[in-house]
Amino acid sequence: MEKTYLGFKDWDFKSEQREYTAPVKLLAADGTLIPKGWARRNVFDYDRKKVLKQMRRKEWDFYQLSNGKMMVQISFANISLGGYASAVLVDLIEGKTVASQMAPFVGGKDKYVLPAKGDVPNNVKFKIGEAEVEFDTRETSRTLYFKMKDVECHFEMDIMEGLENITTVLPFDGFPDRYFMTTKQNSMPCEGTFRKGDTVYEFSKEDTFCILDWGRVCTPYSLVWYWGNGSTYLVDEKGEKHIFGFEITWGIGNEKNATETCIFYDGKAHKFGAVDVETFPKPDKFMEDWVFVSEDGRFNLTMTPFFDHHSDLNVYAMRMHSHQVHGKWNGTVTLDDGTVLEIKDMYAFCEYVENRW
């Protein structure tokens, strides 16, 4: 199988997991992709001027934080034709959007340029119409700020010393100048407030974690993917607290040399193989159990959904259709040294997305 691994009980896909540990240029002088693999930090040097299809270039910094009851999404995206800054607050228990503000812009090819790496100190600060947005990344912390009309939010998160992530570069067969490069970094305890009018929602590091989804891509018109992520505290037999997280993404491009699948334990990445879901959820099984198993058996978790955050945006030739399903996760995962961790009622999500843009 080339694109997906649906029907994994008869698995005929084997990922080779090529890890990069030293800096390498992302694109050659002629705009073709050089590396194909993954890294524990972003070692891929990105020069946006080398992208051949400038109007297919898309760049975003997306943050999602949650305590399992309320969820906040704060993002800035530049998709060359235009883009937006936005902030959204969702009540996961009631299953409704509490607040949402978006500031769009047109013609973003050479303006509102985002940093070339997302896991090193950098600052994003823009004013778009009525919106103000700032993402400030330092060695040991991140600060997010968004303000527009009656919405204002401010969050701070911890970055533990030596925190690793998973950065992947995936090619697209038949398109030597196309690529999908993302950094996913979780395991970041987060605190702050989201204000809607006179109502303030507070979040604490005791139960709130943030995930960074950082993307710099040049893709074909149509994409489909799964993306699952979560972080939590685990207490071991000695009563010591550890931060555990996972990242699973699949279905994008050619994943022979890397799958975006990783366990994080106390900030260190533990790489495992490709993942699939036992039953394809589309079109009417999104609220049934999702059973995940990796090709190497190290990731064996079941998500029992409690909310499907469904959206479907159609604008001319563009469509962004998403089922981001939130639930409780149970099962086992295995670290690099063979240690098996039991996961009980962990809050996390997995989404199924179809995009044309």
Instruction: Give every CB contact of residue 88 below 8 A, 6+ residues apart in sequence.
Output: 72, 73, 74, 97, 99, 100, 101
Residue 1: what pLDDT? 30
CA distances from 268 to 69, 120, 214, 262 (A): 27, 17, 19, 10
Strands 44-45 and 24-25: parallel
- The first and second tokens of residue 119, run together, are 């896991």
- Rounded to the nearest integer, the mean pLDDT of the chain is 94
Q: Model's pTM, two decimal places?
A: 0.95
Contact 225, 203 (CB under 8 A): no
Residue 91: what pLDDT? 98
pLDDT confidence tier of residue 13, bands split at 50, 70 and 90: low
Q: Give 205-247 pLDDT, tens digit per residue.
A: 999 999 999 999 999 999 999 999 999 999 999 999 999 999 9
86: closest CA among 182, 141, 156, 151? 151
Query: Does position 2 have pLDDT exceeding 60, yes or no?
Result: no
- The first and second tokens of residue 1, run together, are 């199988």
327: closest CA among 244, 228, 209, 235? 228
Strands 131-137 and 141-148: antiparallel
| DSSP 3-state of 354 | strand
Distance of alpha carbon 124 from alpha carbon 144, whole angstroms: 10
Q: Give 48-95 pLDDT, tens digit per residue.
A: 999 999 999 999 999 999 999 999 999 999 999 899 999 999 999 999
Query: What strand order describes the sheet that includes 268-271?
Result: 268-271, 260-265, 241-250, 222-235, 340-356, 318-334, 299-315, 290-294, 275-277
Residue 109: what pLDDT? 85
Contact 245, 264 (CB under 8 A): yes
